[in-house]
Structure 1
Amino acid sequence: MLNLSKLQEFIKPEADCLASYVLEMLTAIEVDKFRPSFAHLPKDPYLEGNYRFRRLSHFKIVGDRLIKLPHRRLFQSRQYNPLLGDVVREYSELDDELIQLEEFQRLVWEFFQFCQLCSTSQEIGVHQIRTTASPHQSGNPAPEGIHRDGVDVVGIFSVDRNKIEGGETHLYQSKDDKLPAFTKVLNPGELLVFRDAQYFHYTSPVNVLTNEQGTRDVFVLTCPGLFPPNEN
């Protein structure tokens, strides 16, 4: 269990996520402290191409404490994920060393403030994702296309962009919209939060700027998590 009471001074929500999306720069978080843990992510075995690497853990907020929950698998119905819908997916947990970082606790606590405005759930899923690109292959952060996740609230926190272009995040009010309501490359330290029922979302492919491998590192946070029906 991790005590979050001393972190509350850093939390200053300035908007109601029920009204629209929220984009903020979390200046109190030193993103450099996250970067080493992204170098050791396991390959995502559910995608061809070996360009995505991923871990997943679930947490519960009780009072001023962040409690790591037992291991749970990931599940989305085909309604939300036409590529991997109805597939029960298993990912390794986040590293304990990462979870113990004060920067990580600040991030989860910041996201939870917005969850309280939009959801009755106290549970949060944290996906740690690296998308890679090479001179011979693009990386696709959203291979399922424009989609919803099937949760109450979604947060995307940018940790690093290295030797890449693209990876632009879009929000759409309708899946059929030709123009997004929001479009931006999220820079390291920026957190985008939105209500899943209000916006479809998508991130464009990433390509390298040099002859070396490039990477895009993010945390995707959801409230609640996404579990197989028999594990809810």
Structure 2
Amino acid sequence: MQKVWEATELEYAFLFTLRKVNSINTEGFKPFFNNLPVDPYIKGDYRLRRLSRFIVSGDRVIKLPHGYLFQPKEYNPLVGDIKREFTELDDGLVELDIFKHLVLAFSDSCKLHPEAEIGAHQIRTTCSPDNMGNPAPEGIHRDGTDFIGIFSVDRENIQGGETHLYTAKKEKPVFSKILNPGELLLVNDHDFLHFTTPIKPEIEAQGTRDVFVLTSPSLLIEA
């Protein structure tokens, strides 16, 4: 795994990492981002989303029953303290070897306990010549979990969407990068806040940013 840090920030080297997951060809994911339901909890209809939860057992990725996403308002001031429900990931996506490789890469990299629950958020953020898209409408934040993985699937006709990590809201970011397809950023949620800048089109047409966000614990509660 490649360690990533600012030259003057060596003390953070083991708290976040960036790696390229070479076993994953992101082309296989792309068709499954074309039928995502709109996130009903965010105004503007520019964010689309599915969500499922899993555990890893050996080299198997096991899908768990449906659950609800819940974050306290202290972590998500925009939609915290709301029991949110999202459509499950498509069965065809979950059955892909590349999806299994993604979940295993996250679990292995974070050294998760075999029974640790993992939330897999499939998210598309859209933008148009008239409207920017906001991948992080809640602003600079923590998710309220232990580990976060942000995996870039695709960037189509967009500029922006740069991911930042912070040790405090009023400090400068210690990490700033546009995540390219195939890159997985792993973050200790206890030590860093994160944010992704808004996106806008490069040319006069719709733009899209497709990612998976993995969390453990999953932040999901039983249905």
TM-score by length of 1: 0.89
Per the TM alignment, residue 26 of structure 1 is displaced from its structure 2 partner at its CA by: 1.2
Q: Where does 1:109-148 land on structure 2 (aligned, <5 Å)?
A: 109-116=104-111, 122-148=116-142
Aligned to 1:162: 156
Aligned to 2:167: 173
Distance 2:170 2:75 in 1: 15
Are residues 109 and 225 of structure 1, via their aligned partners in 2, closer, same or farther at CA, if it must alter by over 3 Å? same
Q: Give me the identity figure in percent.
A: 54
Structure 1 residues not aligned, in runs of 5+? 1-12
Aligned to 1:8: none
Give the ranges of 4+ consecutive aligned residues of structure 1 lying more than 6 Å apart after TM superposition.
Answer: none
Check whether the contact 1:123–1:224 (CA below 8 A) recurs between aligned residues: yes
Distance 1:97 1:123 in 2: 21
Per the TM alignment, residue 120 of structure 1 is displaced from its structure 2 partner at its CA by: 7.8
Q: Work out which of the residue numbers 183, 189, 203 in structure 2 matches 1:190.
A: 183
Distance 1:173 1:74 in 2: 25
Number of residue-to-residue matches in the alignment: 216
Per the TM alignment, residue 14 of structure 1 is displaced from its structure 2 partner at its CA by: 5.9
Distance 1:121 1:222 in 2: 14
Q: Where does 1:24-173 land on structure 2 (aligned, <5 Å)?
A: 24-116=19-111, 122-173=116-167
Distance 1:216 1:160 in 2: 6
Distance 1:175 1:75 in 2: 23
Aligned to 2:198: 205
Distance 2:205 2:91 in 1: 30
Structure 2 residues not aligned, in runs of 5+? 4-11
TM-score by length of 2: 0.92
SS at match of 2:181: coil
Give, as a single letter, the amino acid of the residue that structure 2 aligns with 1:137: N
Distance 1:110 1:91 in 2: 24
